[in-house]
Structure 1
């Protein structure tokens, strides 16, 4: 748009000199030649040779037909603006050759317009370059901001994951310590109370010891339930699966998606975690995959695990092996269905009904 405005300014500055010519045909021919040149130059501006030929033709025509030289400033502008500085010499030479024939005033005005056109061409060209640099810098800045946001999200997710992992580990440690320390002390106290009941002759004391034994047994049952609950809560299916998949991060692009409820039975969690670990080991040892996908889905009546990669694996490995047999045994123990294939990449498809989990 700036080029069009610049050319319009130069054209209207040249117009008085052209309209001052005698007759009608000469001004019209000069104007048409200038318009034809600038329009055609826009079309072929990417082709250096064609632009040079067009400039030479116009310059030669300007020397042969004097009115055309009055529109040489437009030619100078196009040459300078397209960074073909040497081409601008030819229209300038045409004006110089026609200098004495144009008349002193017209010659100086035309020469001045050529200089102004050159400055306008450089100015518009520089503005365009600065705009392109600004757009490029803005795009790079936007891209860097998006990358920074992605890195921040990744860092936050990683921190949340590490906190969750540490919390689960602490729960597991507390459950283990309660089981090992308090549980054993209560068990010993129950045995001691039972021994006292055997050797005690006084019925009243025996009755009191029975009450103490029942209290201790109730406390033992309560602690046992709490320990089991803590241990079950310490098993997070998604976190444990991600931890197992870390072994593939240096080899494959890993995709993981899990929407199974945290309240899923402990047996199912351990089953799916064991399957993922075994599948990861299988990919590392036997597959040349560069993409691995793990999907865990919860449906109203059943839960699914789909482990797949895009590598090539031998059929005997897909059909046999102690590790794969262990996967089948785990699923079978929950009354589920397990399909393992290796035709188009290694794939494990497991379905476990919610009724089967309760068995």
Structure 2
């Protein structure tokens, strides 16, 4: 969207620079080819399409050197060249820029185009190049921000998953602690009951011995002791 907005402004300025020139087939062809070339660069997605679009931009500048009516629309081509220029490939861009400047000077001296048109073309070419470089930097910053945002989202999701694991682990540990406490209480109850039953068994046996001369009572204590002993097993 930023590129389309920039190119709309550059194209409007190019049309303003071409005002006053004779409208002939060459000027119409320059306008149409310039619009087609700059539009093709926006729809290019694959690497070979990018290279073809870049070659078309260079070809348009070369055409402007030899065909003066192409001059006013050259800033569109410079915009596309600047968007893909890299440090390791800056020399072709500088070379085509130098050739274009020489052509501007030659056209100015030869009176092929008006001074106004050539001056506006030079200013627009510089402005379009700087605008393209600024937009390229803005796009790189946006990509960097998106990558940083994606990384932060990934970290947030990872931390959320880790927090869920920790919460589940804490719940599990609480459940284990509860079960351990219940087991301890049950063991204490079991030991206490066993101790009490043992005492009851011993006391019953003692009472049975004491009442040995009373067969009925002794038999009752024997039954009680037998029941207590069964409970202890």
Larger relative contact order (Cα-Cα within 8 Å, sequence gap ≥ 6): 2
Q: Structure 1, residues 19-57: CA drift from partner, whole Å, max 9, x if none?
A: 321133233122112112212333447336434532332
Correspondences of 1:191-202 after superposition (within 5 Å): 191-200=202-211
Task: Give the deviation of 1:98 after TM superposition.
Answer: 2.8
Correspondence 1:72 to 2:38: no
- What's the RMSD between the two structures over aligned residues? 3.0
TM-score, reference length from structure 2: 0.78
Task: Give the deviation of 1:8 after TM superposition.
Answer: 0.8
CA distance in 1, matches of 2:23, 2:199: 127
Greater strand content: 1
Task: Give the deviation of 1:92 after TM superposition.
Answer: 5.6
Moved over 6 A (4+): none
Correspondences of 1:150-299 after superposition (within 5 Å): 150-200=161-211
Q: Which residue of 2 aligns with 1:21?
A: 21
> Does the CA contact (< 8 Å) of 1:55 and 1:91 recur in 2?
no
Q: Which residue of 2 aligns with 1:8?
A: 8
CA distance in 2, matches of 1:32, 1:91: 22
Q: Structure 1, residues 183-203: CA drift from partner, whole Å, max 9, x if none?
A: 133223233124313423798
Q: Relative to structure 1, is the Cα distance of residues 8 and 33 closer, same or farther in structure 2, using a 3 angstrom cutoff?
A: same
Greater Rg by CA: 2
Find the partner of 1:140 among 151, 156, 163.
Answer: 151
CA distance in 2, matches of 1:92, 1:42: 26
> Does the CA contact (< 8 Å) of 1:72 and 1:92 recur in 2?
no
> Does the CA contact (< 8 Å) of 1:75 and 1:91 recur in 2?
no
Q: Structure 1, residues 205-227: CA drift from partner, whole Å, max 9, x if none?
A: x69x97xx69x96xx96xx8xxx
- Which shifted more, 39-48 or 18-27? 39-48
Q: Which residue of 2 aligns with 1:93?
A: 99
Q: Structure 1, residues 130-159: CA drift from partner, whole Å, max 9, x if none?
A: 111121111111111111111111111111
Q: Which residue of 1 aligns with 2:30?
A: 30
CA distance in 1, matches of 2:3, 2:98: 20
Unpaired runs of 5+ residues, structure 1, are: 225-359
SS in 2 for 1:20: coil
Q: Relative to structure 1, is the Cα distance of residues 78 and 170 closer, same or farther in structure 2, using a 3 angstrom cutoff?
A: same
TM-score, reference length from structure 1: 0.53
Q: Relative to structure 1, is the Cα distance of residues 31 and 91 closer, same or farther in structure 2, using a 3 angstrom cutoff?
A: farther
Q: Structure 1, residues 242-266: CA drift from partner, whole Å, max 9, x if none?
A: xxxxxxxxxxxxxxxxxxxxxxxxx
CA distance in 1, matches of 2:51, 2:129: 21
